[in-house]
Structure 1
Amino acid sequence: MIEALSNGFARVERGMVRFLVVALPIMILVNVFGRFFKAPIFWLDELAVLMMVWLAMLGLSITLKSRDAVAVTLLTGAVPPAARKGLQLISDLVVLGFCVALIVLCYRWFNPLLLIHSDFNIETFAADSFNYIYQEPTETLGVPKFWFWLILPVVSVTSSVHALANLLRTCRTPRAAFVDPPEAHPVAE
């Protein structure tokens, strides 16, 4: 079930990344032409920056899912398969711990229970918590920034699911499957 949920999240994330990869250059090009014709669209610059953050966060989650992150394999290449599995389990646990910690931090930052307790009154929420997350607007768009910051709790949850799926997959994989990494053996041509 966790694996299926992880795969579903990954499909949605990849779709969003594809959209952003196409939309970002278009936004930038539109503004380049706008500046050329002395009619820049300032809010488009800010939106492009915010969308790049979304792209990076979604890319992080997809990278955790596929385990395509940059890795130093010096240690894992020097130990037997049983130890490789142990190192992979430790790595998966560290990643899962980081993702869960990010969920906790996002929960504390957004503080949804206090927001509900404040009857969604942003001023009351800010007065009670000294947290102005829901009041701070973007510079040129005029939209509250928290709408863009919501990518953090979303990615923390999806990354946690991916990390848990990876951990469970590592636990199920027999030790014999942890043979030398493919890059340790040059391909003969």
Structure 2
Amino acid sequence: MTIRPILIHPDPRLKKVADPVAEITPELQRLSDDMLETMYDAPGIGLAGPQIGAMQQILVMDCIKDEDEEPRPMVLVNPKITWSSEDLSTYEEGCLSIPEQFADVERPAEVDVEWLGLDGAGHQERFTGLWATCVQHEIDHLNGKLFIDYLKPLKRQMITRKMQKLKRERARG
């Protein structure tokens, strides 16, 4: 498994819609292993293909934070939200592509998601709480949307400027 570099906003690939995955291949299995390794190393609770420059509809997530609990790594291929609750919840979201920046985002409190598993079978699950926020955040990535797109323009511009500065500093390294 390989830890892959995570793209930092602004990067045009983060604003593109990812391509659907046509078939489950050994390469896709390797990509998902690398994505999980990269996510855990970051550390984060979710990562979408476009965040590492893989422009495919694949995301990984694991919202288990308690070290006494068994991890639950999930790989979702071509995920689609099929139902959203009218109840909303607000979480302070962050993003591995927008390091050290956080903001409250309001989203549906519960969602039903269908996806293809690495086993080639269709799966579906109702997500609630942090899992619901995470899966919606990652599916947004697959559609070229970032959590800061939910913010007021001034706050979004401020965060974007901080990320541009961070990228310049890293480039000078």
Q: In terms of Rg, which structure is larger? A: 1
Hey, which of these two has a bigger chunk of strand by percent? 2
Relative contact order: is structure 1 or structure 2 higher (C-alpha 8 Å, sep ≥ 6)?
A: 1
Task: Name the TM tier (shorter chain).
Answer: under 0.3
Return the TM-score normalized by structure 2.
0.26
TM-score (norm 1): 0.24
